[in-house]
Amino acid sequence: MEKCPCCKTKKYLACCGRFIKLKQHPETPEELMRSRYTAYTLGNMDYILETMKSPAADNFDRAAAKKYALQTRWGTLEVLKSMTEQNKGWVEFIAHFKVEGAEQILHEISEFRLDEGKWYYIDGEIQTQPHSCAHC
């Protein structure tokens, strides 16, 4: 893989591949969110599970997520806002993709927590209309 799916401008190993493949730890919530997006595009549920904690991890269906990820044609990722406060962070993004030929978007505000020096995805709020995030 040459270009990284999260931005299409950087090489994979210089971008998200350093976290997914080389096992480095993202230094910011935005780096973690981008690497998780890339992991979804690759169907890498090991990385998805390694980078999440409760409450998000409580109901995660690995098999269903992998099936969906592999059936999806991933497009562009837009990071709208990113903010960090001490051991918490938020990233608002829009992911563009196609499922069975139908164009779709996922607009989410993801929440992250720093735990023992590592960032984890802990929750996400799906946006159904334009939203002004108090955190971002």
Residue whose structure tokens are 């989410």? 108
Model pLDDT for residues 9-23, shown as the tens digit of each residue: 999 999 999 999 999
Amino acid at 7: C
pTM metric for this prediction: 0.91
What per-residue confidence (pLDDT) applies to 8?
Answer: 86
Give tens-digit pLDDT for 20-44.
999 999 999 999 999 999 999 999 9
With a CB cutoff of 8 Å and minimum separation 6, the contacts of 93 are 33, 37, 77, 78, 79, 80, 107, 108, 110
Domain extents in the chain = 12-126
Out of 34-38, 117-121, 125-129, pick the least confident: 125-129
> In the CATH hierarchy, which top-level class contains the domain 12-126?
alpha beta
Q: State how far the alpha carbon of 64 is from the alpha carbons of 39, 71, 87, 105, 113, in Å.
A: 15, 11, 30, 19, 25
> In this predicted structure, what is the pLDDT of residue 1?
66
